[in-house]
Structure 1
Amino acid sequence: MNLSLQDPFAVAKEFPESLTQTLSAGGHSVVIQFNSRGDYLASGLTDGSIIIYDISSNAGVIAHLKKDRHSRPVTSISWSSCGRYILSTSQDWTCKLWDLSKVNSERDDFAASSAVIRNVKFDGPIWSAVLHPRNHFIFVASLFEDHPVHVDAEDEHNVVITRLQTQPREIIQGEDNSESATPEPESKKKKVEKHVTLATTFTPNLGLYILTGTSKGWLNIISSKTLETVHSIKFTNSNIKNLVISPNGRKLAINSSDRIIRQIILPDFLNRRNDEDLNGEEKVEEEWDEFEVEHKYQDLINRLQWNSVVFNHNAEFLVASTFGQSSQDLYVWETSMGSLVKILEGSNEELIDVKWNYSKCMIGSTGLDSGYVYLWSIQFPQKWSALAPDFVEIEENIEYDEKEDEFDIIDDQVLVQKRLEEEEDLVVDILTMEKYDARGFDIEESFIIPVKYD
């Protein structure tokens, strides 16, 4: 059904309330990711393959990327902004870039034929990797007990891998200043080496900066041009497990192992939509001080750990999955006041990865034991006036005033001629595409996976 006929404005709430669907095809799902349009859902399995579901038409599995798959479980999935490419990481120490236009849908098993266009191998397992918002051949990855890396795979035969700095900027500057002074004791050097980056992500739009979270609670901001740390802030003393930036680039959620989710207000210059340089070093120093913790989310009664967090499209809501067998729900907070508004129930197991489908207003999560993919969404009520503009729904009887000539017998030819005259004055534009959909999202061209439904 057309999106406009579902009348999304009839529902005041902008977050899902009920579990509507469970996906279990193909195998045990570990991680999931929606594309930018929300039409497809990619699911990484424990056998190293990737399944893609068609969400918009409910067609089920439309592709199973199992040729040239990973040899171990998938750890993360990242879609390109155009929707054509997928970056997957695994415990087999490799990152694979898939071209979905090469999916061979003519085979019965929907296997991909040479869909891997880049295969980068590292010296250890990979926590996660994120594609650049403008260039799908560039990505950053956090490695197990190693420095994070910036990868430029534009040239297939000359992949450039640059190791990023893990230590905070203050420590790096201290090391540079102490080269000519008295050497530091060995005990202090060992403490510096214990910093490990666990999470990495790009800023939205242009991807001008890279945000990394360390095992000591530091947030490092690295320039995408120079690949050097420009600023460091310490928010906690424990591991930073997740870094999630809202799609509008205004807020950052830091999920750490101290059972607290911190909501940070980001400076506006991190989310610039043009590539103009900032004027003056003094202005840069002033803007770096704008980071502040707006809210802290935690469960003071049960002391729950959080597995994964995600914002909705405008950062009005934040959802998190809980760690441990005692809790099997998703917590939804309202970000302006920091209050808990909903606990999504329905699953009978611990939920791991959680993602928000912005255009479809849908939340997806994976089960730890079964590997099922659970989808929460809004149930839109039927609205007959969307199908017939002249139809009016009433909840109770009302008195109707009849017009004088409403039920008069009119010649059919006269009536037809009157309608034709009215239609001649109406200009219908069938060439110009709509800029916004029924919910106000920008309508952008997105890649459509070739599928043979026969």
Structure 2
Amino acid sequence: MNLSLQDPFAVAKEYPETLTHKLQYGHSVVIQFNHKGDYLASGLSDGSVIIYDLTCNAGVITILHHQGHVRPICSISWSKCGRYLLTASQDWSCKLWDLNKVNRREEEEFEDPPVIRSIKFDGPIWSATLHPENHFLFTASLFDDDPVLVDMSTKVIQVHKLSTIPLQLQHQDDSASADGAKEPKSVKKTDRQMTLVTTFSPNNGAYIFAGTSKGWLNIISTDTRRTVHSIHIANSNIKNLVISPNGRKLAINSSDRIIRQVSLPDLINISDPSEWDFEVEHKYQDVVNRLQWNSVAFNHNAEFLIASTFGQSSQDIYMWETSLGSLIKILEGSSEELIDVKWNSHRCTIGSTGLDSGTIYLWSIQFPQKWSALAPDFVEIEENIEYEEKEDEFDIIDEVALNRKRLEEEDAIVDITTTETADARGFDTTMNSFIIPINYELPLTFIDKIT
């Protein structure tokens, strides 16, 4: 749609309200938009990955199944350039896909497969996240084991284990051993901690944020792989850690039915971790229904926070305004419990997956057309009205003055070659993003699979 036909007040609206699309291809369990918002990757329960092109009315352009997973997908992570995709599955493996090698003939896939790196762990995987600048580096949280930092830059994949013990408890163990105390007894199973979720800091990936089963938030240096700061946030499991794209806010979803919004310190300019202050700004909860939250997400400037609810009785997405911490909208329209929720800021779209059917629900903004942008005197009317002629409407106009005005307007220089650097919502349109190639000469049998 031509942006000049859209109401500028509607374009400036920052959050969607209407359920506009339902995507149904297999049983989707997890979704992820790429950084520019052109593509949507959907992980299915059979281990396949579907990629939708959002610029072409959400059409399926490829299916990642050759040399893929055999169990349900548990997490998807895009590289910043949009060319590489990291998938983690319940088959205990993580695979790095090169999207430049998809949509080819079967004989070409065997010669140069799209999976360029693959690793299998000794247990289930909670989630895996790519480094924001290095697509060969990712962090993963493992079931009943310490989190890992994996370097896949070479064929020999290097796996580095990260600590789960908070920094304060590490110092207690060090002081006890220095005083000559006996070796501590084995930790009870009920006292053990597990890292349930990990993610990189969004700016340069210098730090890894890890949430444990005891409510601790550990910040680990990516270079040294050591814990530099720890803070006790909650007394229950940390299920989700989401950092806003601008790196200013952190949302922590825990099992105590509370979402905590934390204001992040300047991790780049403040080099001393002891000076970091993680202040809890707001706590979001439903005190009436006591709802659990499945997943949370920020928009691009952290002005809004959304969360999907747990339980068959609730089928909505809650939206809060982060500056005041107030509930401003409840997105309705789905007929089932929603699991994974993501925010596509570039297209102002919210996506979520249904638990029962695996349908992908998309909420967007419906832009009203403004025809007066093409004709300043254009007026829209709902019904026929009787036109009243103005007194001077058909008076004789000075032709000399009229021609002089037209000549002045013709002298104005109009640039029709330079492209706009920002769209109607202020996003940078010059940002390069990888375009997934489509081979239109594929056999008809393959096309039938993806349509």
| TM-score over 0.5 (shorter chain) | yes
The answer to whether the Cα contact below 8 Å between 2:229 and 2:274 also exists between their aligned partners in 1 is no
The answer to whether the Cα contact below 8 Å between 2:103 and 2:439 also exists between their aligned partners in 1 is no
Q: How many Å separate the matches in 2 of 1:405 and 1:144? A: 84
TM-score where L is the length of structure 1: 0.88
Q: CA deviation at 1:183?
A: 2.1
Alignment of 1:282-431 (within 5 A): 284-286=273-275, 288=276, 290-386=277-373, 388=374, 390-393=376-379, 402=392, 422-423=409-410, 425-428=412-415, 430=417
* Structure 2 counterpart of 1:51: 50
Change (3 A) 1:426 1:176: same
The answer to whether the Cα contact below 8 Å between 1:63 and 1:112 also exists between their aligned partners in 2 is no
Q: How many Å separate the matches in 1 of 2:344 and 2:391? A: 47
Q: CA deviation at 1:400?
A: 5.9
Change (3 A) 1:24 1:394: closer
Change (3 A) 1:169 1:6: same
The answer to whether the Cα contact below 8 Å between 1:126 and 1:144 also exists between their aligned partners in 2 is yes
Secondary structure of the equivalent of 2:118?
Answer: strand
The answer to whether the Cα contact below 8 Å between 2:292 and 2:309 also exists between their aligned partners in 1 is yes
Deviations 1:194-238 (A, max 9, x none): 110001001112111110000000000001111100000001110
Whichever residue aligns with residue 66 of structure 2, its letter is: K
Q: CA deviation at 1:104?
A: 1.8
Question: Across the two proteins, how many residue pairs are aligned to each other?
Answer: 432
* Structure 1 counterpart of 2:446: none
Change (3 A) 1:122 1:20: same
* Structure 2 counterpart of 1:257: 255
Deviations 1:286-318 (A, max 9, x none): 2x2x21110000111111110000011111111
Change (3 A) 1:5 1:184: farther
Secondary structure of the equivalent of 1:436?
Answer: coil
* Structure 1 counterpart of 2:59: 60
The answer to whether the Cα contact below 8 Å between 2:136 and 2:153 also exists between their aligned partners in 1 is yes
* Structure 2 counterpart of 1:40: 39
Q: CA deviation at 1:393?
A: 3.7
Q: How many Å separate the matches in 2 of 1:135 and 1:207? A: 9
The answer to whether the Cα contact below 8 Å between 2:308 and 2:339 also exists between their aligned partners in 1 is yes
TM-score where L is the length of structure 2: 0.88
> What's the Cα RMSD here?
2.8
Q: How many Å separate the matches in 2 of 1:16 and 1:309? A: 16
Q: How many Å separate the matches in 1 of 2:284 and 2:49? A: 33
Q: How many Å separate the matches in 2 of 1:320 and 1:217? A: 19
The answer to whether the Cα contact below 8 Å between 1:65 and 1:111 also exists between their aligned partners in 2 is no
Identity of aligned residues (%): 64
Secondary structure of the equivalent of 2:170?
Answer: helix
The answer to whether the Cα contact below 8 Å between 1:63 and 1:105 also exists between their aligned partners in 2 is no
* Structure 2 counterpart of 1:179: 177
Secondary structure of the equivalent of 1:92?
Answer: coil
Change (3 A) 1:240 1:425: same
Find the partner of 1:170 among 168, 171, 174.
168
Q: CA deviation at 1:77?
A: 0.4
Change (3 A) 1:300 1:116: same
* Structure 2 counterpart of 1:18: 18
Q: How many Å separate the matches in 2 of 1:124 and 1:377? A: 39
Q: How many Å separate the matches in 1 of 2:354 and 2:201? A: 29
Q: Is there any run of 5+ residues in structure 1 with no aligned partner, and where?
A: none
Q: How many Å separate the matches in 2 of 1:236 and 1:153? A: 34
Q: Is there any run of 5+ residues in structure 2 with no aligned partner, and where?
A: 442-451
Secondary structure of the equivalent of 2:188?
Answer: helix
Q: CA deviation at 1:13?
A: 3.7
Q: How many Å separate the matches in 1 of 2:35 and 2:378? A: 36
Change (3 A) 1:399 1:200: farther
Q: How many Å separate the matches in 2 of 1:398 and 1:216? A: 75
Whichever residue aligns with residue 274 of structure 2, its letter is: E
The answer to whether the Cα contact below 8 Å between 2:305 and 2:320 also exists between their aligned partners in 1 is yes
Alignment of 1:123-142 (within 5 A): 123-142=122-141
Q: How many Å separate the matches in 2 of 1:119 and 1:298? A: 40
Q: How many Å separate the matches in 2 of 1:212 and 1:406? A: 77
Q: CA deviation at 1:2?
A: 3.7
